Amino acid sequence: MSDIRLEGVSKRYGSVAAADNVDLTVAQGEFVTILGPSGSGKTTLLSLIAGLTAPTAGRIFIGGRDVTAAPAQQRNIGLVFQSYALFPHMSVLENVLFPLGVRKIGGAEARGRAIEALKQVRLDGLENRRPSQLSGGQQQRVALARAIVFKPDILLLDEPLGALDRKLREELQVELKQLQRTLGITTLLVTHDQEEALSLSDRIMVLNHGKTQQVAGPAEAYLKPANRFVAEFLGIANFVALPDGGQGLVRPERIRLSANGGGKPARIVEAIYLGQMVRYHLALTGALDGAPAMVAAAPFVGPAYSPGEQVSVSWESADVWPVT
């Protein structure tokens, strides 16, 4: 098990800075998620850590060792990608044995380890199947077993659940988190699903154009975003005018609606039922505060407001976070 440290890491492709002076420390056993829009440099960062590509500048340390110039096979890293990349002509067991063979581990020792890894991802009993005889979720579990079977120091996961449907994805999120905790393995997960990032990670790193926007715990990043980009990337933000002329944000769950006045007058434009929550799109009718439209979210417990209804809107000043 190891920690990861990036110091001023940059990767340029021509005029594109895919990674731009990135600093990051991931503690031993920590689960950090890299979150950002398409093209923001998420895969690039993982590739740099894995040694699949070399940085243009900066240094990379794994377990305190400078691996900037070390080839991938000297880094002892488990990798899982969105596309399962299993060997189609090999059985499940052979797929999981493969990285052990590369490391010259064979025989009963290898078999024992492979069976153990398959148990850890709850696939025991399916050793002799081919990948084509497995569901997408099972295939991704094989990929995970193959990534952990050689006891890597670090696990790098690039959108491993991206190809799965929502329900399966949520199940595997829980399993992944439990497995990571059981193994105590330092993990970097890439996703562009903000809910996945907020729910799985000890900390999240938000990237844009190869640059770090924020590295923080999920609640801190959500409620105290470092800038407007993070505020908008991590869910819905209501921007309101601050007394000093600046701008602040209020999250939808912190907006209070009342039928009895006492706040700013508003009209319900749309009420969207989301299961546990209802999301209201509001038009502020006395809009002198620079926020003509707002979004509120409330637990769905009984009758909801309907489009066209007049309500009043309020929020606590403690729930306003200044953004730049």
Shortest separation between residue 22's beta carbon and Mg ion, angstroms: 15
Residue whose C-beta lies closest to Mg ion: 43
Q: Is 18 an interacting residue with respect to ligand ATP (CB under 6 A)?
A: yes
# binding residues, ligand ATP (CB under 6 A): 12
**Residues in the chain, total:** 324
Task: State yes or no: residue 54 binds ligand ATP (CB under 6 A).
Answer: no
Q: Does 162 bind ligand ATP (CB under 6 A)?
A: no
Considering the complex, what minimum distance in angstroms separates the CB of residue 187 from ligand ATP?
17
The binder of 276, among ligand ATP, Mg ion, none, by C-beta within 5 to 8 A per type, is none
Which one among 43, 173, 180, 201 touches ligand ATP, defined by CB under 6 A? 43
Q: Between 81 and 222, whose beta carbon lies closer to Mg ion?
A: 81
Per CB under 6 A, the list member of 26, 31, 32, 44 interacting with ligand ATP is 44
211 part of the interface to ligand ATP, by CB under 6 A: no
Nearest to 204 by CA among 33, 41, 38, 45: 33
**Residue 78 binds what, of Mg ion, ligand ATP, none (CB under 5 to 8 Å, by partner type)?**
none
Site string for ligand ATP, 178-207 (x = CB under 6 A): --------------x---------------
Tell me: does residue 1 bind ligand ATP (CB under 6 A): no
Say whether residue 160 binds ligand ATP (CB under 6 A): no
Q: Output 96 or 206, the one with its CB closest to ligand ATP.
A: 206
Residue 13's binding partner out of Mg ion, ligand ATP, none, with CB under 5 to 8 Å set by partner kind = ligand ATP
201 binds, among ligand ATP, Mg ion, none (CB under 5 to 8 A by kind): none
Please say which residue, 161 or 313, places its beta carbon nearer to Mg ion.
161
Q: In the 3-class helix/strand/coil scheme, how is the chain assigned residue by residue? A: CCCEEEEEEEEEECCEEEEEEEEEEECCCCEEEEECCCCCCHHHHHHHHHCCCCCCEEEEEECCEECCCCCHHHCCEEEEECCCCCCCCCCHHHHHHHHHHHCCCCHHHHHHHHHHHHHHCCCCCCCCCCHHHCCHHHHHHHHHHHHHCCCCCEEEEECCCCCCCHHHHHHHHHHHHHHHHHHCCEEEEEECCHHHHHHHCCEEEEEECCEEEEEECHHHHHHCCCCHHHHHHCCCCEEEECCCCCEEEECHHHCEEECCCCCEEEEEEEEEECCCEEEEEEEECCCCCCCCEEEEEEECCCCCCCCCCEEEEECCHHHCEEEC
The residue ranges that bind ligand ATP (CB under 6 A) are: 13, 16, 18, 36, 38-44, 192
